[in-house]
Structure 1
Amino acid sequence: MFSLEPNRTMTLLVNITETPNNRCIDQKHFDWLFTYRPHYIWIIFVLGIIENLFVIFVFVLHKSRCTVTEIYLGNLAAADLIFISSHPFWAIYISKDHWPFGGIMCAAVGSSFKINLYSRNYLLMMVSIERYLALVKTMTIGRLRRPWWAKVNCGIIWMFTAGLNVPTGVFRKEIFNKKFNTTACRTDAPSQNWYVATNILMNVLGFFVPLVVTAFCTSRMIQVLRNNLMRQFKKVNTERKATRLVLSVFLVFIVCCLPYNIYIFIKTLYTLQIFPPCIVKAIRYNVYPISIYLVYSNSCINPVIYSMVGNQFRQKAREVYSRLLCKRPDRRTS
């Protein structure tokens, strides 16, 4: 059975070639999508580590307290950093077609992918809600926009995400394949229904719910930004630039996460014998590798958006690194 996880290049190729009579798709035309994936993962790893550490350092080292939006974006950078830290393991695994890191690391690294997907989507949802309250509910925001509540919400999101991924960590195992004389890191669930339930959970809770909430908040924010009557309020004008940053992050979220979730949905239908197998096998070689490339890329695109669109972030970054890099003037003794 083909796995839905990003490290199963070898297994995918094995499962397709095990049916020589199947002529649904010629795999040779799509091998290049998998050949360059280890190199791409290493590039994303280097860029992502530098960029997300940069974002976290700016938020932590700046002399002023983080705003509610910055608390969420800082946690978003931390979630990306956790996922990016697992990239070297995936790159080595895919290159060697062998898992050499042991069972504990298999469970930990295997869980990082879904932890990142869940936490990233819900943190982005909270950022959109915060911007919605700032722009649309300007008179009734109350305690909901206090930094303390943002920290509590982030804690709840992390616990919720960790709880959802406990079964993945439990069933993720290091398994020796006698037929191909290699060790694989894969999910060994007790039944096929577990895979179906996990995929539906990811589609609904991991993507659809945050997408609907974020889309609603985004649509309302766009209406306010286009409303000429609202522009006369100074508070609304102050929030406009920060809202543009959130809208940019949301657009990247759609581009990077939607193809993967479409693939998960189609694969679930195939598991339930609703979707034709030939179409699914074609999607494996077209949509799946491209969707994984996009999911990986999202971890290093967000910091670039902060720097390009976030004026307040750029100002904080200049202040932090000018203070760190520039020498302080010597004090004169009397």
Structure 2
Amino acid sequence: MMLITAWNQNITNGTGCLDSDAWEWLYSWQPVYIAFITVLGIVFNVFVLIVFCLHKKACTVAEIYLSNLAAADLVLMCCLPFWAVNISNGFDWPFGLFLCKVINLGIKMNAYCSIYFLVLVGMDRYVALVHTMSHGRMRRPKYAKLGCLLVWGFGLLLCVPTLIFRKVKHFPEYDVHACFLDYPKHVPYLQIFFDVILVIFSFIVPISIISFCTVKIIQALKMQAMERFNAEKTEQKATTLVLAVLLAFLICWVPFHVVATVDMMVRAVGLVGCHLEDVLDICNQMFTYLAFFNSVLNPILYVIVGKNFRKKALELFKQWNIKRVTTFESTRSNQSSTLKTLV
């Protein structure tokens, strides 16, 4: 992610473009914002996972994908507090090399896995509405679970540069131990190579698939409405929720990926200039936190838009309430029997 883009560029290329007074306001509110979305994100995503995992009915294919998306969001939320502490310390990383790699791994995994879980969600809705008869047999929970496992593995594969090149290094001139990506200087184009790979597989490919599926889904819904075709209510409800989640993801994440791509291209062609660097750094910071907010927004959409999710949540609460009442009555009955025996 771009949490310390400005810091990394300053310490690695020795430039002093950024005015510390101008950036002080930005760094001062970041820990507060991170703390706010972390609390909301953990509570909301844990709630989503509880509803999906503990409900007596098995999850549908779409719910399997959405529950894994909630798990990826929860991983991000658990990693962000470490970065809040890092920013509060003036980017002096206090947690050591192991957590430097692990925390950044968790943040990256969220970015990569989230977008591919949405690819699976979009493809599932596409098959459900456009190719219902021909490929319906592929929409089975066991295939959905296998797809999620492959996504987690692919996300980990994309994080290899993070695991290899994340370092904690002391910079005496700043008196900090910074956690940053330290590519070897003797391979000048290695960073550009990895950046290009990540842009292709974490942005261009998945966004293209999501866009194609979304357009086809909307066309299918319009066609059904024109023909007055009455599809299953469950499919319609699931599709509405999926479209809302896809739209929220595009709004929150596309600006970040676009700016990251532009930043990579600027560095690749060797364009320099304080004004350009400041603009990219500010955009990186703002759009990174917009992307993080998506992990809080998804559970809210499940409740507002997802009628099936609300139904499951209410059924789960009723199920727990019945168990609580039954346990209470059983305890009272046992206590009453014990008293009668003693008398």
Same fold (TM over 0.5): yes
Give the drift of 1:202: 2.1
Partner of 2:115: 121
Partner of 2:339: none
- On the 8 A contact 1:224/1:230 being kept in 2, the answer is no
- On the 8 A contact 1:267/1:280 being kept in 2, the answer is no
Partner of 1:196: 192
The one of 202, 209, 231 equivalent to 2:228 is 231
Partner of 1:328: 325
The 5 A counterparts of 1:58-207 are 58-97=51-90, 98-190=92-184, 191-207=187-203
Greater mean deviation of Cα atoms: 192-201 or 60-69: 192-201
Tell me the distance in 2 between the aligned counterparts of 1:142 and 1:255: 30
Mapped pair 1:310 → 2:306: yes
Unmatched 5+ stretches in structure 1: none
Partner of 1:35: 28
Give CA deviations for 1:55-83 in whole Å, capped at 9, x if unaligned.
00001100000000000000000111111
Partner of 2:41: 48
Tell me the distance in 1 between the aligned counterparts of 2:305 and 2:311: 12
TM-score where L is the length of structure 2 = 0.88
Give CA deviations for 1:253-294 in whole Å, capped at 9, x if unaligned.
111111111111111122122545345313234311111111
Greater mean deviation of Cα atoms: 267-276 or 251-260: 267-276
- On the 8 A contact 2:9/2:15 being kept in 1, the answer is no
- Give the count of matched residue pairs: 326
Give CA deviations for 1:151-172 in whole Å, capped at 9, x if unaligned.
0000111111111212211211
Tell me the distance in 2 between the aligned counterparts of 1:26 and 1:106: 27
Three-state SS of the structure 1 residue aligned to 2:169 is strand
Tell me the distance in 1 between the aligned counterparts of 2:318 and 2:188: 56
The one of 260, 265, 280 equivalent to 2:261 is 265
- On the 8 A contact 1:72/1:150 being kept in 2, the answer is yes
- On the 8 A contact 2:44/2:299 being kept in 1, the answer is yes
What amino acid does structure 2 have at the position aligned with 1:185?
C
Tell me the distance in 2 between the aligned counterparts of 1:274 and 1:12: 14
Partner of 2:287: 291
- On the 8 A contact 2:171/2:178 being kept in 1, the answer is yes
What amino acid does structure 1 have at the position aligned with 2:48?
V
Partner of 2:338: none
Tell me the distance in 1 between the aligned counterparts of 2:317 and 2:54: 9
Tell me the distance in 1 between the aligned counterparts of 2:272 and 2:182: 25
Tell me the distance in 2 between the aligned counterparts of 1:154 and 1:230: 35
What amino acid does structure 1 have at the position aligned with 2:129?
L
What amino acid does structure 2 have at the position aligned with 1:90?
W
Greater mean deviation of Cα atoms: 72-81 or 318-327: 318-327
Mapped pair 1:208 → 2:204: yes
Mapped pair 1:221 → 2:220: no
Give CA deviations for 1:77-115 in whole Å, capped at 9, x if unaligned.
011111111111000000002111111000101112221
Tell me the distance in 1 between the aligned counterparts of 2:289 and 2:13: 21
- On the 8 A contact 2:61/2:141 being kept in 1, the answer is yes
What amino acid does structure 2 have at the position aligned with 1:92?
V
Give CA deviations for 1:226-272 in whole Å, capped at 9, x if unaligned.
1234532333x542221111111111111111111111111112212
Partner of 2:337: none
What amino acid does structure 1 have at the position aligned with 2:98?
I
1:89/1:183 CA distance change after superposition, 3 Å? same
- On the 8 A contact 1:83/1:113 being kept in 2, the answer is yes
Unmatched 5+ stretches in structure 2: 335-343
1:203/1:322 CA distance change after superposition, 3 Å? same
- On the 8 A contact 1:71/1:147 being kept in 2, the answer is yes
Three-state SS of the structure 1 residue aligned to 2:180 is strand
Higher alpha-carbon Rg: 2
Give CA deviations for 1:144-197 in whole Å, capped at 9, x if unaligned.
100000000001111111112122112111111111111111111114422212
Give the drift of 1:328: 2.4
Give the drift of 1:318: 1.0
Mapped pair 1:5 → 2:2: yes
Greater mean deviation of Cα atoms: 324-333 or 266-275: 324-333
Tell me the distance in 2 between the aligned counterparts of 1:17 and 1:212: 38
1:43/1:192 CA distance change after superposition, 3 Å? farther
- On the 8 A contact 1:10/1:94 being kept in 2, the answer is no
Three-state SS of the structure 2 residue aligned to 1:99 is coil
Give the drift of 1:7: 3.8
- On the 8 A contact 2:5/2:281 being kept in 1, the answer is no
- On the 8 A contact 1:6/1:292 being kept in 2, the answer is yes
Tell me the distance in 2 between the aligned counterparts of 1:263 and 1:234: 40
Tell me the distance in 2 between the aligned counterparts of 1:294 and 1:206: 17
Tell me the distance in 1 between the aligned counterparts of 2:173 and 2:270: 31
1:230/1:196 CA distance change after superposition, 3 Å? farther
